[in-house]
Amino acid sequence: MSDLINVTVTVNGTQYARAVEPRLLLSDFLRHDLGLTGTHVGCEHGVCGACTVLFDGEPVRSCLMFAVQADGHKVLTVEGLGTMDNMHPLQEAFQEAHAVQCGFCTPGFLMSLLPFLEENPNPTEEEIREAISGNLCRCTGYQHIVDAVKLAAEKMRT
């Protein structure tokens, strides 16, 4: 076992200082070292998108990054988006449009969509489908997710 590396990562506004193995994945760090289990792991090869978090504001596959790469950086996970009593309009829209079934892919979609909606406040159906084409969902067939995004865009514009 190799030497541990000290990292300081800001996650959802809170600074965490930990000693980690160089090979520890960012997804495992968030989920098991920090107990933030909202980020899910579906494939560990960067295809399904369930592990998507924001890294200095950009969506990244946390399964393809190491925790040490996050040293000194800011991460936003789904837990930082809203609470059960105070959901983000995007989360509210997902509920209203029935865009959640098993919920496993959901955090990845939310984190991918947040920067997309900030840059595209009035997206078309085609633009939305392209934006989410990097996130797999096996339950919904995507339609209600697309509807949720349109609804969220509307909510976020007002």
Partner 1 sequence: MTKKWVGQRLTRTEDPRLLTGQALFVDDVEIPGMLHAAFLRSDYAHARLQSIDVSAARERPGVVAVYTAEDMGDAWQHGPPLVIPPPTVEDVVFHTRTQVPLVKDKVRYLGEPLAMVLAESRYIAEDAVEDIFVDLEPLEAVVDLEAALEPGAPLVHDDLDSNLAAHLVQDKGDYAAAREKADLVIQRRIVIDRCVAGAMENRGIVASWDKKAQHLTIWDTTQAPIPVRNGLAGMFGLASNQVRVIAPFVGGGFGPKIMMFYAEEVLLTWATLKLGRPIKWIEDRRENFLATTQERGQVHDAEIAITRNGRILGVSHTFLHDTGAYDPYGLTIPLNTQSHAMSAYDVPNYHSDLKVVFTNKMITTPVRGAGRPQGIFLMERLLDVAAKELGMDRIEIRKRNFIPPEAFPYNHKIIDQAFAELVLDSGNYLATLEKAVDMIGYEEFIKEEQPRLRAEGRHVGIGIVSFIETTGVGPYEGARVTVETDGRVSVATGVGTQGQAHFTSFAQIVADQLGVSPRDVRMVTGDTAEFHWGTGTFASRGSVVAANAIHAAAKSVRAKILKLASKVLETPEEELELEDGVVRVADVPRQSISLGELAALANPLRGAVEPGTEPGLESTDYFGPQYGATANGAHAMILEVDPETMMVDIKRYVAVEDCGTMLNPLVVEGQVHGGIALGIGNSYYEQLVYDENGQLLNASLADYLIPTAWEIPRIEVGHEETRSPLNPIGSKGVGEAGTIPVPALFAQALEDALADYGVEVLEAPMSPNKLFELLQAAEHKT
Strand order in the sheet with 58-61: 14-20, 5-11, 74-76, 52-55, 58-61
Please pick, from the candidates 18, 82, 120, 156, the single residue that binds partner 1 as defined by CB under 8 A. 82
Comparing C-alpha atoms, which of 39, 36, 144, 34 is closest to residue 99? 144
Binding of partner 1 at residue 33 (CB under 8 A)?
Answer: no
Closest CB 24 distance from partner 1, rounded Å: 8
Bridge-based pairing of strands 5-11 and 74-76 is parallel
Please pick, from the candidates 129, 150, 155, 156, the single residue that binds partner 1 as defined by CB under 8 A. 129
Please pick, from the candidates 43, 56, 57, 121, the single residue that binds partner 1 as defined by CB under 8 A. 43
Token readout for 23 is: 């090979």
Size, binding site for partner 1 by CB under 8 A? 62
Binding of partner 1 at residue 153 (CB under 8 A)?
Answer: no
Closest CB 1 distance from partner 1, rounded Å: 7
Closest CB 107 distance from partner 1, rounded Å: 5
CB-based contact 52:131 (threshold 8 Å): no
Closest CB 135 distance from partner 1, rounded Å: 8
Classify residue 146 by burial, with Cβ atoms within 10 Å: 0-12, 13-18, 19+: buried
Binding of partner 1 at residue 48 (CB under 8 A)?
Answer: yes
Closest CB 103 distance from partner 1, rounded Å: 3
Other C-beta atoms closer than 10 Å to the C-beta of 126 total: 9
What are residue 75's DSSP bridge partners? 11, 55
Single-letter amino acid code for the residue at 45: H
Binding of partner 1 at residue 4 (CB under 8 A)?
Answer: no
What are residue 18's DSSP bridge partners? 7
Query: Where does this chain bind partner 1 (CB under 8 A)?
Result: 1, 21, 23-24, 31-32, 35-45, 47-48, 50, 77-79, 81-85, 87, 91, 94-96, 98, 100-107, 110, 125, 128-130, 132-146
